[in-house]
């Protein structure tokens, strides 16, 4: 009996695996022919990254050597591209005249890397990362050293960059999105990945769009970004995705979508032709990872060997990055969504971030960074859709802990821990050391335990465990302490700890703070994000990039939102002084934009109420043209400096209060603070500027300037307290800036000066302000910070910054006319 | 999602690319029944709601987006982006209507329901 003829187009991972699976089921059924375009045997394409990195050799990644083809009597045509499929005659023909007739045909043509159609894409030294030839090109380039640019911060791009860095090139990854591997990672994991890559010599530029590839003498010399930046390089790798290779299938009239469309038995629109792997499209999805390919191959082999009741039902995906020492795992719906809840664990000491997404008591997805040992377990739980409600408490700690503690309540679980088990990772304190100290030294509080054992004294993440140990050891004698109030429900740390650690540990981004302080939510909430954003701005002036999405609407839009969603606009009037020209411009703006209300504020300026958001930039442009800038009437920061007319006009004035007010405002405007800061300068003790109910008030007297702080005239009413008295106007400015800076550095977010004063004590503040050295240091830090703050946010937005914020999506929603 | 729901009562309108919406932010859009807010989370998921808080009608598009929720800029009510329901202490106190939204190959389609 003659054998059926099975022809496979594609000698890659899918094609060969399909053949292996068929041979496993029925070694004698088919006479097999394989066509491959690469001039070599089948190898593990996934392992090209380690080959590039020099961690493996080609021989290590060969899957099927020549002997395999020989032993199974497989005819292999390497370096032979099939040009045509004749479905009528059931023959495939290659460009070189080779042909093979088939009874069953498998398309395993894989995919092609996407090449961006950038100017200069044809230059020498511009490569993709797909096959061994690409790797060899890259290795040759790396031998010459220099700089490499990789476009694309996905899995493949990062592995390419890492490999090139390992080979001694300076590698820079250009990524369009603002999170690396954004299809697999959330912001927190993306942040950790970015830091880990930086440590390994791979720079990353996020949110960057490529404009053109530059060249010299026909060779690549650099990449120009849309923002004008040029990154020099002698090698440019495009790793921006893959496109299923469907040309053959389309040319012979098979049904082709994004890939070659197949049913659940991998059959194309021609029952004699099958497609698998990256070239196939199953239920609308074209896969680019290996696990689904293996599943497809198994189903196909069943079909080809006469098993009828088999079906491929699509795959659930998991991803791991192959960069040595950087462990990343992602699977399923890692970002949650409707009806989902997150369980988050961070270990700052070990650089670990874990997020498991639960939906109706089942694992829906997971992202792991730094500790991926339980990736497989979460993946299994996800695929099996097992009910994990019972495991919820311990799930995030992984399989070992969960199974050890199953059905045990948390307290007795702690009791059951071995004495040698480590509780505090930071300080290496095990359970026995803590319970012994509690018993022998008669410790009763968390603070005692911290003082004597150092357990939970560093990052604090084991605090709940230490408290449970106290509870177990002491029984009823233990009462949970109430420590400082946490910033919000996303953390157990209070504001003070957060602020201190931002500075002491050099934390320079919101994700960095959340990781180091082990935030329990993936990206914080509307309470902690604005607080962290402010703390970072204050700690790293000029360095930290303001995160506008972490700002309350008023500070993002630079206007005050009103009850009907319109905004109010308050231009600055320095020290409350204005001019006919300014007033005319304000009147014109009110007319031009039909602004419904114009009101004089309590801070000596004019409020334009009811401005539509879309109109804001145009309103500001007109105000700017008349010389006015933002009054920051919306800011947690310096608002107004109210003044009286002082010696300029007043018969009682003792000093130039208006002049001092204007000087203060011109120096201090634009500064951010924990809460709003209102100043006033009165020219004499009659206090017409009402300086003694302001955050900081100056009362001029004949002999100098009294500086008062901590007034309030809102929900709470209280007069200021006299802090200090100085003789000259210069000293008054120095003292006021020093107070402001101390408050900026110490205040808790949303804590006004009067509350901060009550918390730290007037004497503490006075000691700093009256000590010349401390005062100067504070003043200098304030002055430095102001170098980056005295910019009119309105003018920036008139010039086009954040234009998307003000323009609605342009498309008007209407039904199309029939 | 790979195919827009085929329902003769729904007209799908391409309103832009998902990347037109800032991460952890929103854009506004004028709809036949009022303003629509389209949100994009930090993880890149997109949602659409009528741009009015169930509390006092505040423009949800102007709030801070955190996780799959938004905090209304007027009085701080937290709204679930997927369901429009009030969360936390306000759970059960009203809901911002969900607007049909689908993403297909990076394009956003808003579903208009014919009267």
Query: Could you read off the pLDDT of A157-179 as tens digits, one per residue?
Result: 999 999 999 999 999 999 998 89
What is the distance between the alpha carbons of residues A505 and A543, in angstroms, rounded to a whole number? 15
Q: Which of B90, B41, B7, B108 is nearest to A813 (CA)?
A: B108
The pair phi, psi for residue A243, each rounded to 5°, is -125, 125
Interface test with B, best of A185, A565, A567, A807 (most B CBs within 10 A): A565
User: B67 CB near a chain A CB, below 8 Å?
Assistant: yes
Task: Tell me which residues of chain B have a pLDDT lower than 70.
Answer: 1-6, 115
Which helix (H) or strand (E) is A740 found in, with range?
A: helix A729-746
Please check the confidence at residue A439 and state whether its pLDDT lies above 90. no
Q: State the nearest Cα–Cα gap between A425 and chain B, in angstroms.
A: 29
State the pLDDT confidence band at A135, using cuts at 50, 70 and 90: very high
What percent of chain A is predicted at pLDDT more than 70? 96
Smallest CA-to-CA distance from A289 within A156, A93, A386, A126 is with A156
B34 at A interface, C-beta within 8 A:
no
Q: Cβ of B28 and A551 within 8 Å? A: no
Distance CA A673, CA A660 (A): 21
Provide the 10 A C-beta neighbour count for residue A673.
24
Distance from CA of A566 to the nearest CA of B (A): 9
- B2–A285 C-beta distance less than 8 A: yes
Nearest to A43 by CA among A15, A73, A9, A23: A15
Q: CB distance from B41 to chain A under 8 Å?
A: yes
Residue A747 has what DSSP assignment? P
pLDDT band at A460 (very low <50, low <70, confident <90, very high): low
Whether chain A has a CB inside 8 Å of the CB on B111: the answer is no
Q: How far B94 CA sits from the closest chain A CA (Å)?
A: 17
Shortest distance between the Cα of B7 and any Cα of chain A, in A, equals: 14
A809 touches chain B (CB under 8 A): yes
Q: Which residue of B has its CA nearest to A810?
A: B29
Residue with tokens 């790797």: A135
DSSP label at A518?
Answer: T
d(CA A141, CA A125): 8
User: Are residues A337 and B63, on separate chains, in Cβ contact within 8 Å?
Assistant: no
pLDDT at residue A816 in the model: 44
- CA atoms in the 13 A half-sphere facing the CB of A75: 15
Instruction: Answer whether A550 sits within 8 Å of B24, measured CB to CB.
Output: yes
Give residue A481's pLDDT. Answer: 52
Q: How many helices (H) and strands (E) does chain A have?
A: 29, 40
The closest alpha carbon to A522, from A344, A340, A327, belongs to: A344
Helix (H) or strand (E) holding A249: helix A247-251
State residue A415's pLDDT score: 76
Per-range mean pLDDT, top range of A314-328, A727-741, B101-115:
A727-741
| Chain A contact set for B104 (CB, 8 A) | none
Q: Please tell me if residue B58 touches chain A, with a CB cutoff of 8 Å.
A: yes
pLDDT interval class at A624 (50, 70, 90) = very high
For B64, the closest of A186, A529, A814 (CB atoms) is A529
Are β-strands A567-569 and A560-561 bridged in parallel, bridged antiparallel, or unpaired?
A: antiparallel
CB contacts, 8 Å: A177 with chain B? 44
Write down the pLDDT at residue A147: 94
Q: For residue A501, give how far its alpha carbon lies from the nearest alpha carbon of chain B (Å).
A: 23
- How far is Cα A692 from Cα A681, in angstroms, rounded to an integer? 9
By percentage, how much of chain A surpasses pLDDT 90?
A: 64
Which of A176, A209, A337 should we substitute to test contact with B (largest number of B Cβ atoms within 10 Å)? A337
What distances in angstroms separate CA A799 from CA A549, A618, A794, A795, B26, one per listed residue? 20, 10, 9, 6, 21
Structure tokens at A430: 């095990």
Residues 538-567 of A with CB under 8 A from B: 549-554, 557, 561, 563-565
Measured between CB atoms, does B66 come within 8 Å of chain A? Answer: yes
Taking the C-alpha atoms of residue A40 and residue A293, their distance in angstroms, rounded to an integer, is 21
Residues 443-482 of A with CB under 8 A from B: none
Residue A298's contacts (CB-CB under 8 Å, 6 or more residues apart) are A21
pLDDT tier at A314, thresholds 50, 70, 90: confident
Query: Which residues lie below 8 Å from residue A217, measured CB to CB, with a gap of 6+?
Result: none
Considering only CB atoms, which chain B residues are within 8 Å of A523? Answer: 24, 42, 66-67
Spell out the residues 6+ positions from residue A215 whose beta carbon is closer than 8 angstroms to its own.
Answer: A120, A123, A221
CA distances from A38 to A12, A80, A81, A688 (A): 9, 8, 9, 87
- Which stretch of A337-346, A536-545, A715-724, B43-52 has the lowest confidence by average pLDDT? A337-346
Indicate whether A104 pLDDT > 90: yes
Rounded to the nearest angstrom, the minimum Cα separation between A394 and chain B is 23
With residues binned 3-state (H G I as helix, E B as strand, rest as coil), the percentages for chain A, rounded to 5, are: 35, 25, 40
Average pLDDT, chain A: 90
Go through chain A and tell me how many residues it has.
818
Nearest-neighbour CA in chain A from B67: distance (Å): 6
Checking if the pLDDT of A82 tops 60, the result is yes
Specify which residues A35 forms β-bridges with: A9, A77
Give the pLDDT band (50/70/90) at residue A818.
very low
Put simply, whether B36 touches A (Cβ < 8 Å) is: yes
Q: What is the pLDDT of residue A406?
A: 65
Each residue of A339-358: pLDDT tens digit? 788 889 888 888 889 999 99
Other C-beta atoms closer than 10 Å to the C-beta of B113 total 12
**In this predicted structure, what is the pLDDT of residue A499?**
96
CA distance A671 to A639: 9
B103 shares contact with chain A (CB less than 8 Å): no
The answer to whether residue A697 scores a pLDDT higher than 60 is: yes
Residue closest to B16 by CA, chosen among A588, A768, A79, A804? A804
Confidence (pLDDT) at A541: 95
Question: What does residue A348 show for φ and ψ, rounded to 5 degrees?
Answer: -65, -35
Contact between A811 and B63 using a beta-carbon 8 Å cutoff: no
Band (A398; pLDDT cuts 50, 70, 90): confident
The confidence score (pLDDT) of residue A735 equals: 97
What gap in Å lies between CA A455 and CA A447, rounded to an integer? 10
Of residues A338, A563, A815, nearest to B114 (C-beta): A815
In what order do the strands lie in the sheet containing B34-40?
A: B25-31, B34-40, B46-50
Q: Do B80 and A814 touch (CB under 8 A)?
A: no
- CB count within 10 Å of CB A49 equals 22
pLDDT at B91: 85
Query: What pLDDT score does A480 carry?
Result: 58
Nearest-CA distance A364 → chain B (Å): 15
Band of residue A204 on the pLDDT scale cut at 50, 70, 90: very high
Alpha-carbon distance B66 to nearest alpha carbon in chain A (angstroms): 5
Q: Does B78 touch chain A (CB under 8 A)?
A: yes
Q: State the pLDDT confidence band at A467, using cuts at 50, 70 and 90.
A: confident
pTM: 0.71
CB pairs under 8 A between A and B: 125
Confidence of residue A645 (pLDDT cuts 50, 70, 90): very high
User: Which residues of A, range 608-637, sit inside 8 Å of B by Cβ?
Assistant: 613
Which tens digit of pLDDT belongs to each residue from A596-605? 999 999 999 9
Q: Is the pLDDT of residue A390 over 90?
A: no
Render pLDDT for A176-203 as a digit per residue (tens, 0 to 9): 988 999 888 998 999 999 999 999 899 9
Res A451: pLDDT: 74
The question of ipTM being above 0.90 is answered as no
- Which residues of chain B have a CB within 8 Å of the CB of A525? 66-67, 71
**Mean pLDDT computed over A105-122:** 93
pLDDT at A459: 58
Do residues A571 and A818 touch, judged by C-beta distance below 8 A? no
């Amino acid at each position: 009996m003659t054998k059926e003829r099975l022809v496979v187009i594609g000698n890659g991972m899918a094609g060969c695996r399909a053949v292996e699976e068929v041979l496993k089921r029925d070694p004698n059924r088919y006479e097999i022919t394989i066509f491959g375009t690469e001039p070599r045997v089948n190898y593990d394409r996934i392992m090209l990254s380690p080959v590039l990195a020099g961690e493996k050799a080609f021989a290590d990644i060969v899957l099927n050597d020549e002997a395999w083809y020989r032993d199974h009597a497989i005819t292999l045509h390497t370096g032979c591209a099939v040009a045509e499929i004749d479905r009528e005659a059931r023959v495939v023909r290659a460009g070189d005249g080779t042909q093979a007739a088939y009874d069953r045909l498998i398309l395993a043509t894989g995919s092609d890397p996407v090449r961006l159609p950038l100017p200069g894409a044809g230059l020498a030294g511009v490569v993709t990362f797909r096959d061994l030839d690409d790797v060899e090109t890259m290795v040759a380039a790396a031998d010459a050293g220099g700089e490499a640019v990789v476009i694309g911060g996905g899995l493949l791009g990062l592995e390419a960059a890492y490999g090139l860095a390992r080979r001694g090139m300076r590698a820079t990854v250009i990524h369009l999105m603002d999170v690396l591997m954004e299809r697999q990672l959330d912001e927190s994991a993306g942040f950790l990945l970015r830091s880990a890559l930086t440590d390994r010599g791979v720079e990353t530029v996020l949110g960057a769009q490529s404009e053109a590839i530059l060249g010299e003498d026909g060779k690549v010399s650099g990449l120009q970004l849309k923002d004008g930046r040029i990154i020099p390089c002698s090698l440019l790798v495009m790793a921006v995705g893959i496109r299923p290779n469907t040309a053959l299938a389309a040319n012979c009239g098979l049904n082709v979508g994004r890939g070659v469309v197949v049913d659940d038995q991998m059959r194309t629109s021609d029952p004699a032709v099958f497609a698998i792997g990256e070239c196939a499209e199953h239920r609308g999805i074209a896969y680019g990872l290996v696990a689904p390919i293996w599943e497809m191959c198994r189903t196909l082999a069943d079909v080809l060997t006469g098993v009828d009741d088999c079906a491929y039902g699509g795959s659930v995906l998991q991803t791991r990055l192959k960069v040595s020492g950087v462990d990343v795992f992602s699977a399923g719906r890692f970002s949650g969504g409707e009806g989902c809840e997150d369980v988050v664990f961070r270990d700052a000491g070990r650089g670990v971030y874990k997020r498991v997404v639960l939906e109706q008591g089942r694992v829906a997805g997971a992202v792991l960074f730094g500790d991926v040992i339980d990736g497989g377990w979460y993946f299994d739980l996800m695929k099996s859709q097992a009910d994990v409600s019972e495991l919820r408490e311990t799930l995030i700690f992984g399989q070992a802990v969960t199974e050890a503690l199953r059905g045990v309540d948390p307290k007795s679980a702690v009791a059951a821990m071995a004495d040698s088990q480590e509780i505090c990772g930071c300080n290496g304190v095990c359970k026995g050391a803590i319970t012994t100290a509690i018993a022998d030294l008669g410790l009763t509080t968390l603070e005692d335990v911290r003082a004597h054992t150092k357990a939970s004294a560093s990052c604090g993440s084991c605090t709940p465990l230490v408290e449970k140990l106290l509870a177990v050891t002491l029984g009823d004698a233990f009462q949970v302490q109430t420590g400082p109030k946490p910033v919000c429900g996303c953390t157990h740390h209070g504001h003070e700890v957060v602020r201190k650690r931002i500075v002491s540990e050099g934390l320079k981004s919101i994700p960095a703070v959340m990781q180091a302080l082990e935030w329990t939510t993936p990206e914080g909430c509307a309470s902690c994000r604005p607080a962290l954003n402010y703390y970072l701005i204050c700690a790293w002036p000029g360095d930290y990039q303001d995160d506008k999405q972490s700002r309350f609407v008023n500070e993002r839009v630079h206007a005050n939102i009103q009850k009907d969603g319109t905004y109010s606009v308050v231009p600055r009037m320095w020290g409350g002084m204005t001019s006919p020209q300014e007033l005319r411009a304000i009147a014109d703006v009110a007319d031009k934009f039909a602004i419904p209300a114009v009101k004089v504020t309590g801070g000596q300026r004019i409020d334009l109420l009811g401005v539509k958001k879309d109109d804001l930039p145009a309103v500001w442009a007109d105000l700017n043209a008349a010389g006015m800038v933002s009054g920051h009437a919306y800011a947690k920061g310096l608002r107004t400096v109210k003044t009286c007319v002082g010696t300029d006009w007043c018969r009682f004035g003792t000093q130039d209060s208006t002049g001092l007010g204007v000087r203060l405002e011109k120096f201090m405007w634009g500064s951010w603070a924990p809460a709003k800061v209102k100043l006033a300068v009165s020219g004499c003790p009659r206090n017409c500027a009402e300086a003694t109910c302001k955050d900081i008030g100056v009362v001029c007297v004949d002999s100098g300037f009294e500086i008062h702080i901590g007034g309030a005239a809102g929900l709470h009413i209280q007069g200021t307290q006299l802090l200090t008295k100085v003789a000259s106007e210069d000293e008054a400015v120095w003292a006021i800036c020093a107070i402001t800076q101390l408050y900026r550095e110490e205040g808790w977010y949303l804590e006004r000066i009067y509350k901060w004063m009550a918390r730290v004590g007037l004497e503490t503040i006075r000691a700093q302000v009256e000590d010349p050295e401390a005062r100067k240091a504070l003043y200098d830090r304030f002055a430095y910070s102001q170098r980056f703050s005295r910019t009119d946010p309105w003018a920036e937005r008139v010039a086009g910054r954040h234009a998307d914020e003000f323009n609605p999506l342009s498309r008007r929603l209407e039904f199309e006319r029939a | 999602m790979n195919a827009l729901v085929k329902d003769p009562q729904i007209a799908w309108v391409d309103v832009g690319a998902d990347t037109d919406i800032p991460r952890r932010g929103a854009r506004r859009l004028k709809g036949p029944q009022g303003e629509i807010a389209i949100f994009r989370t930090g993880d890149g998921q997109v949602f659409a709601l009528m741009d009015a808080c169930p509390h006092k009608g505040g423009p949800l598009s102007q709030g801070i987006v955190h996780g799959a929720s938004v905090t209304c800029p007027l009085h701080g009510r937290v709204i679930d982006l997927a369901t429009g329901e009030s969360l936390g202490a306000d759970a059960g106190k009203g809901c911002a209507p969900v607007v049909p939204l689908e993403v297909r190959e990076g394009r956003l389609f808003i579903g208009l329901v014919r009267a």
